[in-house]
Amino acid sequence: MNGQPDQAIPAPAASAEPQAGRVTVPVWLFALLFLLLWWSMVQFDKTGGWFNEEVYAPYTSFTMVQDYQPIREGPDLSRGQRVFESICALCHGTDGAGKPGQAPPLAGSDWVNSPGVNRLIRIPALGLIGPIEVSGKAYDFPSGMTAVAPTRDMMSDEVLADVLTYVRQAWGNKAPPVTAAQVKTIRDELGNRSTQNTVKELQALPEEEAK
């Protein structure tokens, strides 16, 4: 069969099944295997992020990803102002003075400036209905205030906190900021409720939220 130029294709001898020799695997192949195993483990150590699901190349470790996180210093007043002016100011006015027949003023309001935020947070979360007295003046709006931040999808805890902080520090108001944690606590408590708050109901609640 060897070296024979052929036109037809000869079928190999029908009964000649191949056999296998018994030469052992050469040592250098094993050595190469272990070398590659070692090297690839070194590479994995460098670039694999140790199976952490939040480490993406080019970051090489979780601490590195944490390191590069932008630091948030204090409440974002600009965002609070932006959101206020696009949503709340439609009724309360960009100057916080309120609009007759629509909304009471926020500037100088005792509801806004109260140290405790238990009542304040609930107002944008569920809205408010009923005759209300703001800093000595009486107001009554027939349909009350709708909930402008009923769910976290509509407005996250952080954004609502920023808005309330802005309201408490604008137009001469000087009240401490509202934190996202405080908003979260109140919202968790309110759960799935969708009915508006009544003024009487809020007045029955303590000003300070439960810790």
Shortest gap between Cβ of 67 and another protein (angstroms)? 6
- 64: phi then psi, degrees, rounded to nearest 5: -65, -40
Q: Does residue 51 bind another protein (CB under 8 A)?
A: yes
Shortest gap between Cβ of 65 and another protein (angstroms)? 6
Interface pick for another protein out of 65, 97, 134, 175 (rule CB under 8 A)? 65
CA angle 3, 6, 10 (to 5 degrees): 100
| Rounded Cα gap, residues 114 and 128, in angstroms | 17
Shortest gap between Cβ of 76 and another protein (angstroms)? 8
Judged by beta carbon, residue 8 or residue 138, the one nearer another protein is: 8
Q: Does residue 27 bind another protein (CB under 8 A)?
A: no
Judged by beta carbon, residue 19 or residue 143, the one nearer another protein is: 19
| Among 112, 102, 149, 117, residue whose Cα is nearest residue 134 | 112
Contacts of 176 (CB under 8 A, 6+ apart): 115, 168
Instruction: Map the footprint of another protein across residues 78-107, applying CB under 8 A.
Output: 78-79, 81-83, 85-87, 90
Q: Does residue 69 bind another protein (CB under 8 A)?
A: yes
* Per-position x/- string for 153-172, each x denoting binding to another protein as judged by CB under 8 A, each - no binding: xxxxxxx-------------
Q: In which residue are the tokens 């206020």 written?
A: 84
Judged by beta carbon, residue 67 or residue 188, the one nearer another protein is: 67
Interface pick for another protein out of 29, 138, 204, 210 (rule CB under 8 A)? 29
If phi > 0 it is left, if psi is from -120 to 50 it is alpha, else beta; for residue 17 that is beta
Q: In which residue are the tokens 């140790």 written?
A: 50
CA angle 164, 166, 167 (to 5 degrees): 65
* Per-position x/- string for 133-152, each x denoting binding to another protein as judged by CB under 8 A, each - no binding: -------------------x
- Whether a cis peptide bond, with omega within 30° of 0, leads into 100 is no
Q: Does residue 41 bind another protein (CB under 8 A)?
A: yes
